[in-house]
Amino acid sequence: MEREFWTERWQAGQIGFHEGEVNRHLRQYWSQLAPTPDEVVFVPLCGKSADLAWLNECGHRVIGVELSELACRAFFAERGLEPEVSRAGTHTRYRHGGISILCGDFFELTRENLDGATLVYDRAALIALSPRMRERYCRHLVELMGSDARGLLITLDYPEQAFSGPPFAVSDAEVRELLADHFTIDRLHHAGLGPDDALVQRGLEAGSESVFVLRG
């Protein structure tokens, strides 16, 4: 997807992907990574997700990256927080306490930007990208995080013809194809979407979610 696509969606308020509450899989499965509070968590394509705040409440310093300036500002404003704004290479850093959001392109991040992050949390990032971009995304993620990283990855799958993404359908087989050279991959959860799921409400009749733990 082009950058304009996302910035326009934020401007138009078309952010059906935004959950408002902490993701239930994050709450349930984060401990599977055996995270320690001193570890920094990287959240690619973070939007203004409440998951950033939850991870910080677990004791982690959190670094997100997000294209939309509107989203970066909204995350802090909605919590009544005034972020400190500074330059971080090609990105603008919005920071308050232990949460930083780097405003700019994920693909332009360098390892220095991630401050030694050893954990990664991907919800609606990989599945937000077209097939060609997904390969590039995984390559860059591995470059950024190094080979010892651990992470939680939440994906969505559905019959190709059932919906026009994003979010895109990403099969469990594709997850393994993209990441198995770099991580041990365990699937922790796989289930059909429930009637209350936002995508079902938008007309997707059959789909499933998977949650993976990745260990470098």
Ligand X SMILES: C[S@@+](CC[C@H](N)C(=O)[O-])C[C@H]1O[C@@H](n2cnc3c(N)ncnc32)[C@H](O)[C@@H]1O
- Which region among 84-92, 122-130, 176-184, 199-207 touches ligand X (by CB under 6 A)? 122-130
Return the axis-axis angle of helices 3-12 and 69-77, rounded to nearest 10°.
40
Size of the site for ligand X (CB under 6 A): 20
Among 132, 133, 137, 115, smallest CA distance to 44 is for 137
> Binding of ligand X at residue 128 (CB under 6 A)?
yes
Nearest distance from C-beta of residue 127 to ligand X, angstroms? 7
> Binding of ligand X at residue 66 (CB under 6 A)?
yes
> Binding of ligand X at residue 67 (CB under 6 A)?
yes
Nearest distance from C-beta of residue 47 to ligand X, angstroms? 3
Among 55, 60, 61, 68, binds ligand X (CB under 6 A): 68
Q: Which residues ranging from 3 to 42 are in contact with ligand X (CB under 6 A)? A: 6, 17-19
CB 53 within 8 A of CB 79: yes
Binding mask 146-165 for ligand X (x = CB under 6 A): --------------------
Interface with ligand X by CB under 6 A: which residues? 6, 17-19, 45-47, 49, 65-68, 71, 105-107, 123-125, 128
